[in-house]
Structure formats: C-alpha cells, structure tokens
Amino acid sequence: MLLQYIRRLRIFVYNILQNDEHDTRFSRYVDYFLIFLIMTNVAAVIAESVDTWYYPYQDYFTWFENFSIVVFSIEYLLRLWSVAEVKPDDTTWRQRWNWLKSPSAMIDLIAIIPAFLNFFVSIDLRFLRILRLFRILKLTRYFASLRILLVVISKEKGSFQAVIFILIIMIVTASSGIYLVENHAQPEEFESIPKAMWWAVVTLTTVG
C-alpha cells in the first residue's frame, strides 16, 4: 500500500515538473512561480552590484537567496526522483543517470552550486554571486524556442568544439606574433604573450 502511494506521488510530481504534455491549472501555477522566482533572482543579483542598494538591505537579499536555494534544491531533487517515470519499464538508476547528464539537469545544478559554495567559503567572493546569473538559463525549460536551441547545441557540440579549438589556435598564434613584432616598440602594451592575448581577442572577435 505504501509503495503504491509513493508511486502515485512520483507520477504526480513527474506530471507537474517533467511532463510537457500534462497541462493543468496547478502545473501552470508551478511553472509561473518558478519563472517568477528565476527572474527575481536575476534582478536580485543585478541589484546586489549596487552598493547603495545592497548594504542597507543585505539581510533581505540574504533571506531571499536562502529561500531561493531551498526551492531550487527541492525542485532539483524532485526532478531527479520523478524522472524514473519517463520510462517505467526501464531501470530507475539508468534513467536518473541519463537525466543527470542532460543539459537541463546541468543547468539546474549550475543554478544551485554557487549558493552552496558560499556556505563553505569564509569570504564573500563576488564571482560566486555573479555565477547565480546562470539561473536565467533555467528559463530554457519553459520556452520552446530556447529548448530547440539547446537541442541544436547538443547535436552540434562537435562543430562548436572545433570552432573553439580553431579560435584558441588563432589567438595563441596572433598573440605570439604580435609579441615578437611589437615587444620592443611597445613594451608596455605587449609585455608578454599572455598580455598580448587581449589584443588578439579584441582583434579577432571585433570586440574593440
């Protein structure tokens, strides 16, 4: 009896969080709540960068962050638990492992890891707070066009890796060349190859 109740509960959670074909008022409310929480988290990270906003209301920002990490952590665990209902005939551990390796699961994990790192790091590292901006990637789950983008990136990851590899080779080659040519003429700008890499990045990517 208990196992049947747990199974029904897992199916219910799966339908609410994972099943795109399941559309009820409650499931929509859950989606709206999570979307709102993601957007307010991004707004909070941006607001925290303004000292005149952050320090007077630091306790509120901290409370909101703790609340958010609890919600996102529960969501992550529930998705991991309920994903076994995707293929009920398959083994649960295999389905959960496959889900853990999926892009959406990676995004969910990235969304909560920075907050947990803050508990183990004694100093307030600003880059850990900035990493929370990656929570906006969780919105890809709720918009079809963004999900298509993730699918394309996943299928064409070999091409992206090749492009990144070629870009790295070009940056290293260009920065080494400009260092050899301009080091004596402009020692302050091209003091070393690592320093010359910024010039290479700006030139090759037209950032400048």
Question: How many other CB atoms are found less than 10 A from the CB of residue 61?
Answer: 17
Q: Of how many residues is the chain composed?
A: 208
Q: Which stretch, 4-18, 104-118, 130-144, has highest mean pLDDT? A: 4-18
Mean pLDDT, range 36-59, rounded to an integer: 86
Torsion on CA atoms 119, 124, 125, 129, rounded to nearest 10:
70
Instruction: Between 82 and 145, name the one with better pLDDT.
Output: 82
Contacts of residue 17, Cβ cutoff 8 Å, sequence gap at least 6 = 30, 75, 78, 79, 82
Q: How confident is the model at residue 143 (pLDDT cuts 50, 70, 90)?
A: low
Mean pLDDT, range 96-111, rounded to an integer: 85
- Read off the pLDDT of residues 117-142 as tens digits, 9 standing for 90 and up: 766 665 555 555 666 777 777 777 77
Q: Running DSSP on this structure, what letter comes out for residue 55? A: T
pLDDT at 191: 81
Look over the chain and give the mean of its residue pLDDT values, rounded to a whole number.
Answer: 81
- Read off the pLDDT of residues 35-45 as tens digits, 9 standing for 90 and up: 899 889 888 88
Helix (H, G, I), strand (E, B) or coil at 121: coil
pLDDT at 110: 82
Q: How far apart are CA 63 and CA 141, in angstroms?
A: 26
pLDDT at 147: 66
User: Is residue 87 within 8 Å of 95, Cβ to Cβ?
Assistant: yes
Name all domains of the chain by residue range, CATH numbers in brackets.
Answer: 2-143 (1.20.120.350), 159-205 (no CATH)
The DSSP annotation for 20-37 comes to TT---HHHHHHHHHHHHH
The single residue listed with the structure tokens 């339908």 is: 15
